[in-house]
Amino acid sequence: MLSQTETQQVDGTRHQLPQVTEPRNPGMALDMDWVRGLQANTSAIERRATSLPARRSVKKQHQAAWLLRAVSCIDLTTLSGDDTDDRVARLCAKARQPVAQPLLDALGMGPITTGAVCVYHDMIPAALRALEGSGIPVAAVSTGFPAGLSPFHLRLAEIEESVKAGAGEIDIVISRRHVLSGHWQALYDEMCAFRRACGEAHVKAILATGELGSLRNVARASMICMMAGADFIKTSTGKESVNATLPVTLVMVRAIRDYHERSGFRVGYKPAGGISKAKDAITYLAMMKEELGDRWLRPDLFRFGASSLLGDIERQLEHHVTGNYSASYRHPTS
Ligand SMILES: O=C[C@H](O)COP(=O)(O)O
């Protein structure tokens, strides 16, 4: 069983987190002087990113508490052309009970859920049905995900349809070409329009960082999306050839820190794509704690976009409790 100290390791609170209400980022006018002043020292960033996993070893007895926190921050995702209502229902059952009850009992933990379930628009009704009464939000990818190259009015309409269908969170993709050609005003205007179309639904801006060409572009695109009112900035669709990485994370979380220092608003961070190992999840959480502080270790400000991470975390928790590793096929996600 986890002691109270162990469950407090992650951010000084019990794992069953009280609800915290964060004022929504309203955005601000585009400040091009600020944007142009943003630089990224690639070699320093890469050095810091490489040193983190090696330097930061979460002590064994605290790992289970960190892993449970990671679970509560997962946007449990299925984004496949062959998604079906049944697959989404199985995924949602997993979101409601992501860790087997005997493991939770052995760890002395109460109920836990994932942060959200993330699906394509057509899967929203199935997800809502399966999550009814759970309080788990449905996130829908939108705006011509993953490329974001459909006609602009259709991208706006897609957001509106998903909000109407009941999605509480909308993951939009930005136009990479605006970044690659330095059309910052166009990027800002696009993001403002997406935010408006979302209404009360929270909007995550997917930058597709693997396609932005440089870390400096990542810094600038992050800042512009926040200036235009993004609630979260997210690395990737999971469909680019390079998805979430630690260097990109450093650049994005430092942009979040700068934005908070100047505006007073906290924007969330969502690394997504290719995060499938429990130890990587701990590295990301440790980076959030070191760069942004404990407040960003809660699901209202941090999510993993991941389809298979949960299975590995459950395996590691089982090992923590029983001393044995089970086969990964025993922990299917959907
Ligand atoms: O936003 C989430 C990603 O599409 C999930 O990517 P993944 O399948 O590599 O975990």
- Walk me through the domains of the chain, giving residue ranges and CATH numbers: 30-324 (3.20.20.70)
User: Ligand 1: which of 79, 141, 280 to mutate, judged by most atoms within 8 Å of the beta carbon?
Assistant: 79
- Catalytic, 277? Answer no
3-state helix, strand, coil in the chain (%, to 5): 50, 10, 40
- pLDDT tens sequence across 146-182: 999 999 999 999 999 999 999 999 999 999 999 999 9
Burial class (CB in 10 A: 0-12, 13-18, 19+), 101: exposed
pLDDT tens, 121-131? Answer: 999 999 999 99
- Report the chain's mean pLDDT, rounded to a whole number: 92
Percent of the chain at pLDDT exceeding 70: 89
**pLDDT per residue as tens digits for the range 28-53:** 999 999 999 999 999 999 998 888 76
- Segment (H or E) for 330: none
Determine which one of 11, 75, 94, 234 is catalytic: 234
Q: How many Cβ atoms are within 10 Å of 153's Cβ, its own excluded?
A: 9
Pocket test for ligand 1, best of 237, 242, 277, 280 (most atoms within 8 A of CB): 237
The complex's ipTM?
0.96
Q: Which residues, judged by CB distance below 6 Å to any ligand atom, belong to the binding site of ligand 1?
A: 77, 79, 118, 237-238, 272-274, 305-308
First to last CA, the chain: 28
- Rounded to two decimals, the pTM is 0.93
